[in-house]
């Protein structure tokens, strides 16, 4: 039995060590906001934070994780759904089907942590999630709006 | 358009249950405990189970919450919100109090199809149901007013309703919908209602926010893959990768003792599934399972043999005629100049972000399925068939789709499989989830076609004759043969037909459009935009070729053919003007145009691209215009236009399924890429509803993205790309 630190809580995990983090989140912990889509670390639907960095959880074997590492999922991004990105996404009606959006938001959130006012080029380089509905332009606007919301909050 | 007086079929509104049961809940027949299943129950909570419906479309709770029933499926396209706007417009309710719920297809069946079609495809969600859902709202409003008037003992016509408040005009007395809803539910619906004059619409045409956004931002939104039911097991599946092949044998003993494995089962005649405690355990065991396939008759099929089949059709003597006027071949012979070109369009996968999935529970006398579907009724039919039970003993609970694009409407292969598995484990809910690889290999693909285009120009450089010979696959022949007309698949001619929703946007004096049907054994399907994807590329690229062949401006060349197509001309002019067609673009940037009529909407685009010496393409900007007749929610239309461009441009840049040894070669997003944010152009959307008709939104604009970009690439490089996707073509100028 391994322990993991997920959304600020220590949880016991009882699975084969080769199980990807994605499936531990979804099937052991009921955190189904993190999505399966490609399973090979490309599309980004399964993006979570490990120590603040965006990681494709579908290719991270749970045995590679230590209890000291802080794992954050979409459910833990904010206590009440009011992370600036969540506010911006709501304001701009960003999602269409919504399936890729938790991953999209987690990728954007990791970017903003490192780079509080990213350029479009920074966004292009860091948000490489696939969205088949085609929300990219609203995602971009959403990230810029979240920057504004952040600034307003701080002023 | 004036106010519209519409009579009501008594049957339509009198057949109703006295209460809205928790039947609208996804979990009616199961004790719910898990969080996800509770979330999946949506708005149909315990309170609503005791509230009578005003009519099939409207339930109002004592606290004035309005529940609007939505028959079509939400898969990202915004139909849920748009349909609610249509009902609420006539209902005169407080929009801030509106929620929605899906009736089940089983309830629709039991109530004589009171909600009519559940089918969500062909950009029909709104345009196919706008009238009867508005009627539903209007009838409910009249009944609510009557209930208030009766309580006050005053005539109905002294009362009016707005924002869920009913006012007795002479005295100024007011009450709310929530207070009179129970009494209204007992009234006999009016025989006639008046629908508003569109100029009086307050909510239709307003860019209100979607009703389904918030849960999508926190992970709370339940998709099919997320469903948790008590006692549920998970299944992973492999079907024979060769089209038409069968499952020969498998060695269950090798995996049955692996962690979590409950059972290894044959599914229909072509697949095997492992059922386990978790999906990851099921998938791990399935990967280890030795399987023998009987590859069947198509094991020798490959892309080259399919191409030969299509090439033969390009010149075959016999072909179906989709559009003919004048004498194209005679006029070609007399033309001062002729131009000929052959185009080819590949197989493509829908590749919804959420892979195919369904959850089923089967017992001897009942079968239930929970699934993302574009057509609940078709899903119910598939359930009943696979369950071996009458439809009245089955039901389907619809869940938000993680993308549809046509994959989950006409085909419920994943539902039949889930039921086939559940049938082998009676009473246990089984969630079947496909891997991405399974999804890539067992699609219902955008059909493959080629087109030989021959145009004739007179000595003034005007188009006098056009012959379009399409060769390739029919969707209907495989999917809906009963929709064919005397063996002809008229869908093949979308965008090139003489008139109607997919009428050609030009008047060509001598025109012949034909289809030599050649159907390789690869299953085709409806794919967002269906046949306008390739037909608009063929037509709009070739018109560009013709214009350049006689040194004419592509806009002027088109305009000359569009005098009889004023609405198409208007959208074309709108994009040309906004893009600044008559002024030079920035240095190194080149423009291309396209126009089309699709799904009854008139659409056009002007793309701006640059291509550097190494051949790297940058799409900078696309100006798009759409005239859908009426625009229910302009901000959602903008989102759909942008989204359709991502779908269409992903197809143009990367979309290709190739066939080797009877199987699709592509396995995942590494071999079947989709465009990324870094490749996304700026999109400027002009929504220009001209009124008087209802056109589609989700699909039409997909038609113009690719050809506009292709024409811009020609302007930039002098290269005319006629084979797709673009990843296979070197665009470099050196």
Q: How far is B642 from chain A (nearest CA, A)?
A: 6
pLDDT of residue B34: 32
pLDDT of residue A1: 72
Residues 87-126 of chain A whose Cβ lies under 8 A from any Cβ of chain B:
89-90, 93-102, 105, 123-125
Q: How confident is the model at residue B14 (pLDDT cuts 50, 70, 90)?
A: very low
pLDDT of residue B51: 85
Q: Which of B217, B239, B258 is the last residue of a domain?
A: B217
pLDDT, average across residues B81-105: 98
Residue B562 pairs with which residues in a beta bridge? Answer: none
The C-alpha atoms of residue B275 and residue A142 are separated, in whole angstroms, by 41
| Domain membership flag for residue B24 | yes
Residue B593 near residue B606 (C-beta atoms within 8 A): yes
State percent of chain B over pLDDT 70.
93
* Alpha carbon distances (Å) from B229 to A37, B219, B224, B237: 21, 18, 12, 20
Which residues on A lie below 8 Å from B215 (Cβ)?
98
Q: Are residues B558 and B627 located together in one domain of the fold?
A: yes
Q: In residues, how long is chain A?
A: 155
pLDDT of residue B9: 61
Q: How many domains does chain B have?
A: 3
pLDDT, average across residues B256-280: 98
Average pLDDT, chain B: 94
Name the closest residue on chain B to residue A24, using Cα atoms. B280
Q: Are residues B398 and B460 located together in one domain of the fold?
A: no
Q: Are residues B511 and B605 located together in one domain of the fold?
A: yes
Q: Are residues B51 and B136 located together in one domain of the fold?
A: yes
* B328's tokens: 């194209």
Say whether pLDDT at A9 is over 70. Answer: yes
Q: How confident is the model at residue B426 (pLDDT cuts 50, 70, 90)?
A: very high
Please report where in the chains the tokens 């759409």 appear, as a residue.
Answer: B626
Can you give B232-246 as a three-state secondary structure string?
A: CEEEEEEECCCCCCE
Q: Which residues of B15-42 are buried (b: 16+ CB within 10 A; e: fewer)?
A: ebeeebebbbbbbbebebeeebbbbbbb
* Bridging pattern class, strands B271-276 and B449-457: unpaired
Q: Which of B217, B238, B272 is the last residue of a domain?
A: B217
Helix A136-154, helix A84-92: angle, nearest 10? 130
Q: Are residues B685 and B623 located together in one domain of the fold?
A: yes
The C-alpha atoms of residue B196 and residue B198 are separated, in whole angstroms, by 6
pLDDT, average across residues B655-672: 98
Say whether pLDDT at A148 is over 90. Answer: yes
pLDDT of residue B139: 97
pLDDT of residue B49: 54
pLDDT of residue A133: 98
Mutation test of the interface with chain A: which of B32, B80, B85, B218, choosing the one with the most A Cβ atoms within 10 A?
A: B218
**Interval B315-363: pLDDT, tens:** 999 999 999 999 999 999 999 999 999 999 999 999 999 999 999 999 9
* Alpha carbon distances (Å) from B557 to B323, B366, B454, B546: 21, 62, 16, 9
The C-alpha atoms of residue B473 and residue B315 are separated, in whole angstroms, by 15
pLDDT of residue B45: 41
| Domain membership flag for residue B734 | no
Q: Which of B162, B191, B217 is the last residue of a domain?
A: B217
Interface membership of A30 toward B (CB under 8 Å): yes
State percent of chain B over pLDDT 90.
93
Please report where in the chains the tokens 């085909």 appear, as a residue.
Answer: B411
pLDDT, average across residues B670-683: 98
Which residues on A lie below 8 Å from B646 (Cβ)?
131-134, 136
**Interval B142-183: pLDDT, tens:** 999 999 999 999 999 999 999 999 999 999 999 999 999 999
Residue B243 near residue B473 (C-beta atoms within 8 A): no
Q: What ipTM does the predicted assembly reach? A: 0.98
Q: How confident is the model at residue B27 (pLDDT cuts 50, 70, 90)?
A: very low
Superfamily for the A2-76 domain: Beta-grasp domain (3.10.20.30)
Nearest to B221 among A86, A98, A135 (CB): A98
pLDDT of residue B558: 98
Within a 10 A sphere around the Cβ of B694, how many other Cβ atoms? 19
Question: Which residues touch B213 (CB under 8 Å, ≥6 apart)?
Answer: A89, A90, A93, A94, A95, A98
* Bridging pattern class, strands B601-611 and B617-627: antiparallel
Q: How confident is the model at residue A154 (pLDDT cuts 50, 70, 90)?
A: confident
Residues 670-729 of chain B whose Cβ lies under 8 A from any Cβ of chain A:
670, 674, 676-678, 680, 682-683
What is the DSSP code string of A29-79? S--TTS--S-SSSSS-TTEEEETTEEEEGGG-BGGG--TTSEEE-GGGS-S
Nearest to B218 among A86, A124, A135 (CB): A86
pLDDT of residue B2: 61
3-state secondary structure of A86: helix
Alpha carbons within 13 A on the beta-carbon side of B608: 22
- Which residue from B601, B558, B450 is spatially nearest to B514, judged by alpha carbons? B450
- Which residue from B270, B308, B242 is spatially nearest to B522, judged by alpha carbons? B242
pLDDT of residue B734: 45
Sign of CA dihedral B377, B383, B388, B390: negative
The C-alpha atoms of residue B59 and residue B43 are separated, in whole angstroms, by 11
- Which residue from B364, B277, B384, B366 is spatially nearest to B28, judged by alpha carbons? B366
Element (H, E) at B247: strand B246-250
Say whether pLDDT at B1 is over 60. Answer: no
Residue A75 near residue A7 (C-beta atoms within 8 A): yes
Mutation test of the interface with chain A: which of B677, B682, B697, B702, choosing the one with the most A Cβ atoms within 10 A?
A: B677
* Bridging pattern class, strands B53-55 and B58-60: antiparallel
Say whether pLDDT at B717 is over 90. Answer: yes
What CATH number is associated with residue B323?
A: 3.30.365.10
Q: How confident is the model at residue B209 (pLDDT cuts 50, 70, 90)?
A: very high
**Interval B511-523: pLDDT, tens:** 999 999 999 999 9
pLDDT of residue B32: 29
Q: Are residues B462 and B418 located together in one domain of the fold?
A: no
Q: Which residues of B54-69 are buried (b: 16+ CB within 10 A; e: fewer)?
A: bbbbbbbbeebbbbbb
3-state secondary structure of B389: coil
Residue B617 pairs with which residues in a beta bridge? Answer: B611
pLDDT of residue B46: 40
Q: Are residues B321 and B378 located together in one domain of the fold?
A: no
Interface membership of A57 toward B (CB under 8 Å): no
pLDDT, average across residues A97-113: 98
pLDDT of residue B25: 38
pLDDT of residue B559: 98
Q: How confident is the model at residue A2 (pLDDT cuts 50, 70, 90)?
A: confident
Nearest to B635 among A89, A93, A124 (CB): A93
Say whether pLDDT at B26 is over 80. Answer: no
Within a 10 A sphere around the Cβ of A128, how many other Cβ atoms? 17
The C-alpha atoms of residue B275 and residue B269 are separated, in whole angstroms, by 17
**Chain-centroid distance, C-alpha B284:** 33
Name the closest residue on chain B to residue A128, using Cα atoms. B676
What is the DSSP code string of B126-194? TTTTHHHHHHHHHHHHHHHHHHHHHHHT--GGGEEEETTEEEETTTTEEEEHHHHHHHHHTSPPPSEEE
Helices within B505-657 (DSSP H only): 532-549, 554-559, 566-579, 634-653
The ranges assigned to domains in chain A are 2-76, 84-154
pLDDT of residue B647: 98
Question: A130–B676: do the CB atoms touch at under 8 Å?
Answer: yes
CATH number of the A84-154 domain: 1.10.150.120
| Domain membership flag for residue B440 | no
Within a 10 A sphere around the Cβ of B110, how many other Cβ atoms? 17
* A83's tokens: 């992370």
Q: pTM, whole model, 2 decimals?
A: 0.95
| Domain membership flag for residue B534 | yes
**Interval B360-409: pLDDT, tens:** 999 999 999 999 999 999 999 999 999 999 999 999 999 999 999 999 99
Q: How far is B48 from chain A (nearest CA, A)?
A: 26
Range of the domain at B467: 303-348+445-728
**Interval B467-490: pLDDT, tens:** 999 999 999 999 999 999 999 999
Alpha carbons within 13 A on the beta-carbon side of B324: 11
* A32's tokens: 């189904």
**Interval B581-620: pLDDT, tens:** 999 999 999 999 999 999 999 999 999 999 999 999 999 9
| Domain membership flag for residue B259 | yes
| Domain membership flag for residue B439 | no
Question: B280–A27: do the CB atoms touch at under 8 Å?
Answer: yes
pLDDT, average across residues B12-25: 41
Q: How confident is the model at residue B562 (pLDDT cuts 50, 70, 90)?
A: very high
Say whether pLDDT at B10 is over 80. Answer: no
């Amino acid at each position: 039995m391994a322990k993991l630190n997920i959304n600020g809580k220590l949880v016991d995990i009882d699975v084969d060590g080769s199980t990807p983090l994605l499936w531990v989140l979804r099937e052991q912990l009921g955190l189904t906001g993190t999505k399966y889509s490609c399973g090979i670390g490309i599309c980004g639907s399964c993006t979570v934070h490990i120590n603040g960095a965006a990681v494709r959880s579908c290719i991270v074997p749970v045995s590679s994780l230590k209890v000291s590492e802080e794992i954050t999922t979409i459910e833990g991004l904010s206590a009440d759904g009011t992370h600036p990105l969540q506010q911006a996404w709501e304001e701009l009606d960003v999602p269409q089907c919504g399936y890729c959006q938790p991953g999209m938001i987690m990728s954007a959130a990791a970017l903003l942590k490192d780079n509080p006012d990213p350029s479009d080029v920074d966004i292009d380089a860091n948000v490489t999630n696939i969205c088949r509905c085609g929300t990219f332009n609203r995602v971009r606007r959403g990230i810029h709006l979240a920057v504004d919301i952040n600034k307003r909050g701080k002023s | 358009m004036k106010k519209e007086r519409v009579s009501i079929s008594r049957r339509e509104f009198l057949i109703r249950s006295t209460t809205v049961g928790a039947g609208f809940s996804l979990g009616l027949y199961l004790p719910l405990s898990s969080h996800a299943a509770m979330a999946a129950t949506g708005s149909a909570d315990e309170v609503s189970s005791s509230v009578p419906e005003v009519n099939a479309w409207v339930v109002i709770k004592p606290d004035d919450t309005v529940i609007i029933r939505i028959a079509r499926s939400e898969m990202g396209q915004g139909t849920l919100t748009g349909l609610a706007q249509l009902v609420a417009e006539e209902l005169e309710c407080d929009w801030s109090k509106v929620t929605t719920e899906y009736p089940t297809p089983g309830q629709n069946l039991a109530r004589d199809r009171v909600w009519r079609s559940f089918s969500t495809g062909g950009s029909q969600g709104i345009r196919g149901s706008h009238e009867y859902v508005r009627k539903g709202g209007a009838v409910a409003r009249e009944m609510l007013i009557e209930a208030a008037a009766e309580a006050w003992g005053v005539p109905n016509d002294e009362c009016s309703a707005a924002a869920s408040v009913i006012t007795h005009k002479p005295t100024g007395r007011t009450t709310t919908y929530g207070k009179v809803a129970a009494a209204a539910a007992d009234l006999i619906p009016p025989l006639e209602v008046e629908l508003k004059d569109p100029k009086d619409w307050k909510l239709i045409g307003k860019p209100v926010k979607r009703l389904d956004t918030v849960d999508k931002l926190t992970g709370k939104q339940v998709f099919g893959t997320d469903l948790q039911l008590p006692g549920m097991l998970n299944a992973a599946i492999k079907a024979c990768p060769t089209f038409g092949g069968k499952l020969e044998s498998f060695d269950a003993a090798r995996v049955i003792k692996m962690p979590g494995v409950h059972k290894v089962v044959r599914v229909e005649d072509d697949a095997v599934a492992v059922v386990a405690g978790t999906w990851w355990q099921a998938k791990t065991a399935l990967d280890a399972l030795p399987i023998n396939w009987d590859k069947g008759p198509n094991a020798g099929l490959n892309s080259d043999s399919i191409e030969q089949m299509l090439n033969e059709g390009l010149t075959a003597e016999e072909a179906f005629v989709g559009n003919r006027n004048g004498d194209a071949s005679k006029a070609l012979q007399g033309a001062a100049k002729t131009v000929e070109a052959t185009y080819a369009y590949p197989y493509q996968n829908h590749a919804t972000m959420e892979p195919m999935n369904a959850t089923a529970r089967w017992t001897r006398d009942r079968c239930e399925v929970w699934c993302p579907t574009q057509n609940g009724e078709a899903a119910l039919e598939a359930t009943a068939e696979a369950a071996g039970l009458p439809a009245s003993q089955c039901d389907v609970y619809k869940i938000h789709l993680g993308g549809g694009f046509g994959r989950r409407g006409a085909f419920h292969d994943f539902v039949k499989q889930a039921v086939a598995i559940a049938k082998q484990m009676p009473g246990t809910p089984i969630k079947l989830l496909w891997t991405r690889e399974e999804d890539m290999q067992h699609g219902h693909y955008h059909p493959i076609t080629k087109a030989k285009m021959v145009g004739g120009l007179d000595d003034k450089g005007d188009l006098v004759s056009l012959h379009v010979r399409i060769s390739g696959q029919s969707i209907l022949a495989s999917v809906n043969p009963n929709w064919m007309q005397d063996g002809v698949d008229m869908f093949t001619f979308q965008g090139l037909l003489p008139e109607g929703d997919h009428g050609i946007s030009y008047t060509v004096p001598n025109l012949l459009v034909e289809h030599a049907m050649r159907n390789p054994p690869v299953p085709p399907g409806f794919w967002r935009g269906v046949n306008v994807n390739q037909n608009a590329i063929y037509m709009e690229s070739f018109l560009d070729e013709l214009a350049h062949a006689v040194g004419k401006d592509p806009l002027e060349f088109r305009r000359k053919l569009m005098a009889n197509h004023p609405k198409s001309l208007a959208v074309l002019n709108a994009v040309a003007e906004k893009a600044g067609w008559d002024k030079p673009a920035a240095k190194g940037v080149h423009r291309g145009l396209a126009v089309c009529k699709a799904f009854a909407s008139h659409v056009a685009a002007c793309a701006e691209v640059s291509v550097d010496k190494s051949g790297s393409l940058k799409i900078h900007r696309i100006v798009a215009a759409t005239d859908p007749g009426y625009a229910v929610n302009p901000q959602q239309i903008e989102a759909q236009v942008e989204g359709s461009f991502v779908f269409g441009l992903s197809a143009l840049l990367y979309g290709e399924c190739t066939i080797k040894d009877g199987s699709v070669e592509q396995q995942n997003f590494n071999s079947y890429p989709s465009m990324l944010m870094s490749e996304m152009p700026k999109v400027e959307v002009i929504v220009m509803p001209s009124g008087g008709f209802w056109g589609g939104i989700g699909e039409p604009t997909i038609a113009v993205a690719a050809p506009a970009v292709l024409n811009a690439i020609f302007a930039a490089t002098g290269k005319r790309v006629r084979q797709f996707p673009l990843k296979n073509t070197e665009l470099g100028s050196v």
